[in-house]
Amino acid sequence: MLSWEYPPYKIGGIAEHVGALSRALARGGHEVHVVTPGRYGGYEQQPGGVHLHRIEVDPYTPDYIARMNEGMKEFGASIIYGYDIDVIHAHDWMVSDAAIELAKTHRIPLVATMHSTEFGRSGGIKEAYQMRIHEKEQRLVSTADHVIVCSESMKKELKGLFGIGDNISVVPNGVEVSKFSLKIDRGALKSRFCGSRDTKMILFLGRLVYQKGVNVLIGAMPRILAECPDTKLVIVGEGPMRMQLEREAFLLGVAEHVVFTGYLDDYTVRCLLKAADVLVMPSVYEPFGIVVLEAMAARVPVVASDVGGISELINDGEGLKVPPDNSYALADAIVSVLTGEDVLDMVERGYNKAIAMDWDGIAEATAGIYMHILTSAAKREELKSQSDGNDYREVETGDLWQYRYS
């Protein structure tokens, strides 16, 4: 596994995904090595059997991504020489240079998980830097033996953007429900973050960037406060839009009801999830929405945009979906949860969804994809050896793995 983030160093959802998937694969009997940057370099065998190799790279250097990839190539080569590695699994474009070179140099099949695209995150390709990222994504999905995405929405997006063929499978994110079985003092948490034990808490978790739609949520606050005046919006996360969002809250006259916490540690975030009255994900672009699944696992009602992977994730009364970029609809849905008495059924349905999407099943589907490409590679090598230098046709190996979760 090559990933540019891994717990406890988290920026977005990739760290949680790679960490949980790696542990689940190890539980399933597979030998898993993860190469990732860290504050300090070194090796450790983590609980659960994952071999973690951290490369020391200064994240504040201008050429951070290039240095990270050079380090990954070096570490990756030493792991390949020292262990019997069958598959290289890359997560997103930031590790693509290292993944592609290692796969080609050592003739090892390459799997790529695309968690999002630059086109989707930015609403289009508008400048040269975005085009360079787009081209790296194109190269990665074109080179990979198989591509994994987290939703049918992402599968459609990649096919439209890159003209990818049939070597793509949908394997969703999962959730470790047991992580949310901790006991909390709900009133104490509300006092700490909202100023009162009796305040209604609306919770947002995520990066403060355009695609997360935090401005839409802040825009809904005047309407929410008109119906539920004793309410606070707690925004957990950091990002380039923070100053703009703080200004919008001030201009709308709701600044006293909006709390920006910045980054918080994982334990505090899980406690806040259990203490919240509603978790809101107002994204305008969302390939999956893992925070929604975590809220379901924490038995918290969910209000989210009806967009991308969220549209597929929330079904059958498991949460409320609203049109994206619509503060009025978002406010009405949030108020209906804060004032409603029938949210218990929604919470129970969501919790059952979370239980069904455990990482062990998702790891099994991922391992099935590994076996598929290894079988295909073995058959291609066999045909090459029998071809006497002539051209040959790839063998059809049947339907690709698809993890069904609806």
* pLDDT the model gives residue 143: 95
* pLDDT the model gives residue 8: 84
**Which of 170, 192, 218 lies at the terminal end of a domain, its last residue?**
170
Mean per-residue pLDDT of the chain:
90
Dihedral angle of Cα 292, 154, 12, 241, to the nearest 10 degrees: -90
**Which of 338, 356, 374 lies at the terminal end of a domain, its last residue?**
356
For residue 403, is it within any domain?
Answer: no
- The count of structural domains within the chain is 2
- pLDDT band with cut points at 50, 70 and 90 for residue 386: low
> What's the pTM value of the predicted model, to 2 decimals?
0.86
Closest CA to 321 of 355, 287, 346, 353: 346
| Mean pLDDT of the region 65-76 | 94
Assess whether 125 and 227 both reside in one domain.
Answer: no
* pLDDT the model gives residue 35: 96
Above 70 in pLDDT, residue 390?
A: no
* pLDDT the model gives residue 391: 44
Burial class of residue 222, CB neighbours in 10 A (0-12, 13-18, 19+): middle
For 31-59, the pLDDT digits (tens) are 999 999 987 888 888 888 999 999 998 88
Q: How many CB atoms lie within 10 A of CB 344?
A: 11
Assess whether 188 and 316 both reside in one domain.
Answer: yes
Assess whether 181 and 280 both reside in one domain.
Answer: yes
For 77-135, the pLDDT digits (tens) are 999 999 999 999 999 999 999 999 999 999 999 999 999 999 998 889 999 999 999 99
**Which of 115, 140, 170 lies at the terminal end of a domain, its last residue?**
170
Above 80 in pLDDT, residue 405?
A: no
For 306-327, the pLDDT digits (tens) are 999 999 999 989 999 999 999 9
* pLDDT the model gives residue 61: 84
For residue 293, is it within any domain?
Answer: yes
Assess whether 200 and 118 both reside in one domain.
Answer: no
For 147-186, the pLDDT digits (tens) are 999 999 999 999 999 998 889 999 999 999 999 999 999 9
* pLDDT the model gives residue 381: 66
* pLDDT the model gives residue 342: 75
CATH number, domain of 89, equals 3.40.50.2000
Q: Which residues contact 160 (CB under 8 A, 6 or more apart)?
A: none
Lowest mean pLDDT among 55-59, 71-75, 392-396: 392-396
In terms of pLDDT, which residue wins out, 265 or 10?
Answer: 265
Assess whether 155 and 194 both reside in one domain.
Answer: no
Closest CA to 323 of 306, 337, 309: 306
Q: How many CB atoms lie within 10 A of CB 187?
A: 13
Cα–Cα distance, 64 to 70 (Å, whole number): 10
* pLDDT the model gives residue 387: 58
For 205-241, the pLDDT digits (tens) are 999 999 999 999 999 999 999 999 999 999 999 999 9
- pLDDT band with cut points at 50, 70 and 90 for residue 13: confident
* pLDDT the model gives residue 94: 95
Above 50 in pLDDT, residue 402?
A: no
Above 80 in pLDDT, residue 74?
A: yes
For residue 265, is it within any domain?
Answer: yes
* pLDDT the model gives residue 58: 85
Pairing of strands 231-236, 33-38: unpaired
In terms of pLDDT, which residue wins out, 399 or 257?
Answer: 257
* pLDDT the model gives residue 388: 52
Above 50 in pLDDT, residue 247?
A: yes
For residue 322, is it within any domain?
Answer: yes
Assess whether 235 and 315 both reside in one domain.
Answer: yes
| Mean pLDDT of the region 6-33 | 91
Assess whether 315 and 332 both reside in one domain.
Answer: yes
Cα–Cα distance, 133 to 118 (Å, whole number): 7
For residue 273, is it within any domain?
Answer: yes
Assess whether 31 and 146 both reside in one domain.
Answer: yes
Calculate what percentage of the chain has a pLDDT beyond 90.
80
Assess whether 61 and 127 both reside in one domain.
Answer: yes
Enclosing domain of residue 333: 177-356
